[in-house]
Structure 1
Amino acid sequence: MKRPIATLTCAICLAIAPLLAHAADDADMRFRAIYTQEWQWRQAQFAGGDDEDGAGKAADRLPKVDPATQEQRERYWAGVLKQLDAIPPKDLHGDDPVNYAVYRNQVETLLAGQRFRTWEMPFNSDTAFWTNLGFTARKPMRTADEYRRYLGQLRDIPRYFDEQIANMRAGLARGFSVPRVTLAGRDQSIADVANAKGDDNLFYTPFRKMPDSIPAATQEQLRAQAHAALRDQVVPAYARLLDFMRNTYMKQARTSLAAEAMPDGKAFYQAQIREFTTLELDPDQIHAIGEQEVARIRAEMDEAIRDSSFKGSFAQFLHYLRTDPKFYPKSADELLKDAAWIAKRVDGKLGQYIGRLPRQRFAIEPVPPDLAPFYTGGRGGPGIYLVNTYDLPSRPLYSLTALTLHESAPGHALQMPLAAEHEGLPDFRRYTYISAYGEGWALYAERLGVEMGMYDTPYDRFGYLSYQMWRACRLVVDTGIHHLGWTREQAQAFMRDHTALSEHEIETEVDRYIAWPGQALSYYLGEMAIVDARAKAEKALGERFDLRAFHDTVLSLGSVPLPVLQQRVDRFIADGGKSPYAEAKAP
């Protein structure tokens, strides 16, 4: 007797269901094994490294950067990508489809950097491998073992610098270098270390005041070892680097500006766009978006000028803001105290806008003097908000509220620690940084200041709008320089005509864009993604929309590509606008 077809189908489904479930479980296990192993390997590769966003894994050495190691990294990440290709995302469940999208983007970005040999240009006008070492020197050390590891890193600087110099020579030979025009004065931070002896050297900083918990005899031994390392390794290595920079690199660096002018430049610039925006946009599309946003923001700026009762043209108002002493701090202390006051005012409002806040607090400190001349107006991250007190006539108070919201809370000094404290995320999401998301959130934090009532005067509001305009101008200027062949002067003029930035900031910012292709694109495109996602959620949810739940949803992601953010907000809408932390508490 033949069984009915429906009965046979049910029997087959029941038979293969366990196999499908096993396949899904197997895919999850294989994926987790891949990223767990690679993350551990990655941490070991970059142990001892440090920058303003956080320290690498503790080590008594610095990372290897020689070509053989770089080739090994390229092969390793290519192999990881091949392993990921063998796991269909549809076979993953729970949080792993999101983890897969985030992780794959990370590996593709790392691999692209290796294939374009970006390690042959290991610095730009904003950030350099030799200044990154200074972040370790400025951090407090608590145990004798921490000091011993630090001494190991100091002794390793000659090897590390020799490898970096060899890489830079290779970059020069193929026309892959930082543009010459952006290099003026960048050698000073090297000279400051090369010419400083003994206790006056930056790298002696941790030894000036050591913890009482370390015995006096041990302190004396460690200080003696530090003096020897500075004399025999650090100062000579910095002197060799200084000679190379002044007599070779700064003379042989390329005279062109555009990333597209370098070897395989069009593909390189497109890869930079993909890395920093996580979007598949070409330079012409981004340039057009920038022009549209510049025009839109200009209309809001004109309204703010009318509210200020100023009588005159837009250009005259900008001149007024740039030249009237009342808009500028009279001392570094005044600037720092005003920043602290703004941050404390925000602190009292945050709970109305964000449900889960990080445990880690942040300090407000001046930018170190060796970095300040070429540094941005401020920089924030885990535990720190740096305010640039160099050249006070270029630090307007009317922009300080926007700057503080961006760099401290609810910007970088909130988002980054919150991600690190999210124990439910894999480490590769807790401790990495995707510029489009991170800078997009920080720029959105400036916008949130409007709702918080933080911009007290028309001048404060204009400062906020000028900062928004500044980031919209970046879309135009970055693509203008690297794709359309703009000159440095053309880029500076565009910034000068559209923003209230000081001349010093315009010069340092444009040089930053020239030397760091694509990075400037991440801010405004990231903010647009969050603003659009919020508008979509507000429209879909209506009265059910809860702003704190929306912000918790965005911040709970760690740091993710913008398409992943958009998908998560779609799920937020589908789930009725619930906070992710409410989901976690549900039985």
Structure 2
Amino acid sequence: MRRHWFIAAALVAASVSTGALAQGAADQQLKALYDAEWQWRVSENMARGEGPPNPHMPHVDAASQARRAAYWSDALKKLDAIPLDQLSPEERINAEVFREALEGFLTEYRFKEYEDAFGFWTWMAPNYGFGSVEGYKAYLSRLSEMPRYVDEQIANMRAGIKRGFTRSAIAVKGREKAVEPLASTDATANPLYQPFTMMPASIPADQIAPLQAQGKAAVAETSKAFAKLLTFLQTQYMPKARTETSAEALPDGKAYYAAKLRQYTTLDLTPDEIHEIGLKEVARIKADMDRTMKESGWTGDFAGFLHFLKTDPQFYAKTPYELLAKSSYVANKINGELKNTIGLLPRYRFTIRPTPDNIAPFATGGNGGLESCKMNTYNLPARPLYTIPPLTAHECAPGHSFQAALALEGPDRPEIRKNTYFSGYGEGWALYMEWLGTKWGIYETPYDEFGRQTYEMWRATRLVIDTGLHHKGWTRQQAYDYLRNHTALSDHEVTIETDRYITSPGQANAYKLGELLIRRKRAEAEKALGDRFDQRWFHDVILGLGAVPLPTLERVIDEWIAGGGKNPNPDLVAD
């Protein structure tokens, strides 16, 4: 009997050992695949590696696009050959992130999105200085390659015009004007020169003047390329931009819109399903807004209240400083609550700056990023102060700037995990932070709370408007009216947002769907864990993942709940 037990134990041990070897082999195979792809991506100047600053602009011509698509297609086939069930938990997440990234790249190539290059110039001018002489020299090198890059983008847009793959004319009217500052022959007035006006103390004093002189010469030369681009946009692109607003009116449009919904949301939902989710959320939030309106003392109707909020001077900043000061105050108030909200806090800090002048007229109310959180101070009568608290929570801390800092300082993970972004995850978290602000006291008046609800309604209406525009035949005016009549956003913001949904089909749906998932999982965790639920660990699980597809996020949270809701960073953060 003892001999039989020994043989059985040996067989079990052998089976476990074989399984571990298989898992290790699968992990190694996957790691080799995504590491090689990342290094290749860096060599293509499509990503930033950990080495010296990049001195090159990528090639974006059709031949380069086809070559990259062939590489990604081959990488996806190799990924398909790796058995998912033999991967370790961490590598399974890596595989799911890698797959979504590859499929996204191939979706963009399949529909030749590179031919829709309109707007590529929007973020080409850095609004920050570089920390070293090497960084400035790399930037000078990129400026020298920019004329070639601009020519390739013009060729791409020509191809888009030829097959009817352009932006909708009504949604981009006047936006070519954003190129004018980049075409300025006065280098010091050109946004491309701005880094040379923000040289940090780390640059040797005797290097500043020579670098600035080189910068002026490089920008003056580069401005010619943007002058050429401006002429092309004015004389060829804008007159031939399409008249339709629907993505389904584009070549292979129904498949294109479905693919963009899948890419942005990482969920398998049809346009009709998303539309219905939006209608239900709109109804729920409208009831909340009605209650808040009454709490404010308003005795009139909803439309009258919206008009009051949009027109009364008490709700608007008189100077850019006042708006930035409000955002800074909210950010600092949130900082005082973070110790009770999140366990693992980043050391990296951001600043709050105004949106750059050259893009502000067409930009949204704010943008968060690693270096800075930008608040739009253009057209102050269109920037209500009652939306600054949710905007700050969303864009700054603990929203996007906070997310970016944690990603920078996160665990030693592959570059694909550090540098891949999924809107459902990232924007879902930021919207969830707006809601969580109700527990931090940042909504100090009923008007502030209505501003938060306006932002919540804004994201719910997106589900209705985006699918309405691109699937149900809505006109631009229908979309505009729906957003205007449901929110206290200014008419300027409503116009900018409506045109944004027309020009970026599918993207706006990811926000609300991501937020709904996180809030649903929190409710499930609170119910399942009871007194053991600690929101710090719940948030650390989400933030510790970095950007992942929404199904991955849900699976990992479910595993955390099943494991008892423990502190995911016990070695770094005490309970």
TM-score (norm 2): 0.95
Q: Does 1:549 align with 2:537?
A: yes
Q: Single out whichever of 420-429 and 554-563 deviates more from structure 2.
A: 420-429
Letter paired with 2:111: F
Matches within 5 A, 1:431-510: 431-510=419-498
Q: Which residue is 1:388 aligned to?
A: 376
Matches within 5 A, 1:92-103: 92-103=87-98
Q: Is the 8 A contact 1:81 1:107 kept in 2?
A: yes
| Alpha-carbon distance in structure 2 between the residues aligned to 1:193 and 1:17 | 63
Q: Tell me the CA shift for residue 212 of structure 1.
A: 5.9
Q: Is the 8 A contact 2:274 2:464 kept in 1?
A: yes
Seen in structure 2, the aligned counterparts of structure 1 residues 326 and 217 have a Cα distance that, compared at 3 Å, is closer
Q: Does 1:108 align with 2:103?
A: yes
Q: Which residue is 2:337 aligned to?
A: 349
| Alpha-carbon distance in structure 2 between the residues aligned to 1:211 and 1:435 | 33
**1:150 maps to which of 139, 150, 157:** 139
| Alpha-carbon distance in structure 2 between the residues aligned to 1:342 and 1:321 | 20
Q: Tell me the CA shift for residue 122 of structure 1.
A: 2.1
| Alpha-carbon distance in structure 2 between the residues aligned to 1:381 and 1:476 | 28
Q: Single out whichever of 443-452 and 212-221 deviates more from structure 2.
A: 212-221
Q: Which residue is 2:112 aligned to?
A: 117
**1:404 maps to which of 379, 392, 403:** 392
Q: Does 1:88 align with 2:76?
A: no
Q: Tell me the CA shift for residue 385 of structure 1.
A: 1.0
Please provide the CA RMSD for this pair: 2.2
Q: Encode CA deviations 1:37-87: one digit per residue, 9 max, x unaligned.
A: 1111122323588xxxx9997222211101111011101110110011111
Matches within 5 A, 1:118-517: 118-123=113-118, 128-135=119-126, 138-208=127-197, 210-211=199-200, 214=203, 218-232=207-221, 234-517=222-505
Instruction: Give percent identity, aligned residues only.
Output: 48
Q: Which residue is 2:32 aligned to?
A: 33
Q: Tell me the CA shift for residue 97 of structure 1.
A: 1.4
| Alpha-carbon distance in structure 1 between the residues aligned to 2:573 and 2:204 | 48
Q: Single out whichever of 81-90 and 100-109 deviates more from structure 2.
A: 100-109
State the secondary structure of the residue aligned to 1:365: strand
| Alpha-carbon distance in structure 2 between the residues aligned to 1:183 and 1:280 | 30
| Alpha-carbon distance in structure 2 between the residues aligned to 1:55 and 1:251 | 43
Q: Tell me the CA shift for residue 432 of structure 1.
A: 2.2
Q: Tell me the CA shift for residue 284 of structure 1.
A: 0.2
Q: Tell me the CA shift for residue 195 of structure 1.
A: 2.9
Q: Which residue is 2:22 aligned to?
A: 23
Letter paired with 1:153: R
Q: Encode CA deviations 1:171-203: one digit per residue, 9 max, x unaligned.
A: 111111111111212111111221341322222
TM-score (norm 1): 0.93
- Number of residues of Structure 1 aligned to a counterpart in Structure 2: 573
Seen in structure 2, the aligned counterparts of structure 1 residues 362 and 17 have a Cα distance that, compared at 3 Å, is closer
| Alpha-carbon distance in structure 1 between the residues aligned to 2:210 and 2:531 | 67
Q: Is the 8 A contact 2:53 2:134 kept in 1?
A: no
Q: Tell me the CA shift for residue 213 of structure 1.
A: 5.7
State the secondary structure of the residue aligned to 1:364: strand
Q: Tell me the CA shift for residue 10 of structure 1.
A: 6.2
Q: Is the 8 A contact 1:47 1:58 kept in 2?
A: no
Q: Tell me the CA shift for residue 105 of structure 1.
A: 1.2
| Alpha-carbon distance in structure 2 between the residues aligned to 1:540 and 1:297 | 26
Q: Which runs of 5+ in 2 are unaligned?
A: none
| Alpha-carbon distance in structure 2 between the residues aligned to 1:21 and 1:208 | 57
Seen in structure 2, the aligned counterparts of structure 1 residues 209 and 530 have a Cα distance that, compared at 3 Å, is closer
Letter paired with 1:270: A
Letter paired with 2:181: D
Q: Encode CA deviations 1:239-272: one digit per residue, 9 max, x unaligned.
A: 1100110011101111111111101111111111
Q: Single out whichever of 256-265 and 185-194 deviates more from structure 2.
A: 185-194
Letter paired with 2:31: R
